[in-house]
Amino acid sequence: MNNTSSKIFCVIALLGLTFSFSAHAQNKNKDVEAIKALIQRETKAFFEIDYKTWADSWVHTPYAFWSFADTTDVNSFSGWDQINNGFAEYFRTSKPSTAKIDREWLGLDVRVYGNGAYVRFNQHVKDNTRRPPQAEVRVLEKVKGEWKIVCVSVIALEKENQPRR
């Protein structure tokens, strides 16, 4: 290969890499936006007592997990069946809330790993119950091209942004 051919080959290879990285970044951005939208949709459905949308946001597997901790108690459910049964009474008897949800996506807000993702954020539910802000974690899986929640972990925070003890 002569010098000119080598230069042309290098330019074409660099352009190919640039387009490849650009496509990967665009796909990741689409995943991040889809994940954030799912979290917002699941939270909204929970507070609006929309069982169908809430349940559709989850992976229905034995390894799904949900937990909540504050100064009064720690609750958790292992597996979709326990999660579903654990919230059955809530969805049967609660009234839709008009709460305003503020969410602060943190520095490493959404980490996508192939068909899995880790998300950490702080959330403040503003309603008449005077709830403290909450630190929240979601683990998600992409199932048949759609992101679904597999794990929710919530801990109540004090004003200084520290876990309540």
Q: Letter for the amino acid at 56?
A: D
What was the pLDDT predicted at 12?
A: 61
Asked, for residue 83, whether it belongs to a domain, the answer is: yes
For 90, the domain range is: 3-156
Q: How far apart are CA 48 and CA 70, in angstroms?
A: 22
What was the pLDDT predicted at 58?
A: 98
What was the pLDDT predicted at 16?
A: 52
Per-residue pLDDT at 75 exceeds 90: yes
Asked, for residue 163, whether it belongs to a domain, the answer is: no
Asked, for residue 107, whether it belongs to a domain, the answer is: yes
Asked, for residue 150, whether it belongs to a domain, the answer is: yes
E strands within 56-159? 65-69, 74-78, 100-113, 116-126, 134-143, 146-156
> Structural domain tally of the chain?
1
CA end-to-end distance (rounded Å), the chain: 70
Q: Which residues contact 10 (CB under 8 A, 6 or more apart)?
A: none
Asked, for residue 162, whether it belongs to a domain, the answer is: no
Closest CA to 68 of 90, 92, 38: 90
CATH number at residue 42: 3.10.450.50
Q: How far apart are CA 126 and CA 103, in angstroms?
A: 11
Asked, for residue 165, whether it belongs to a domain, the answer is: no
Give residue 23's pLDDT band: very low, low, confident or very high (50, 70, 90).
very low
What was the pLDDT predicted at 25?
A: 52
Read off the pLDDT of residues 43-64 as tens digits, 9 standing for 90 and up. Answer: 999 989 999 999 999 999 999 9
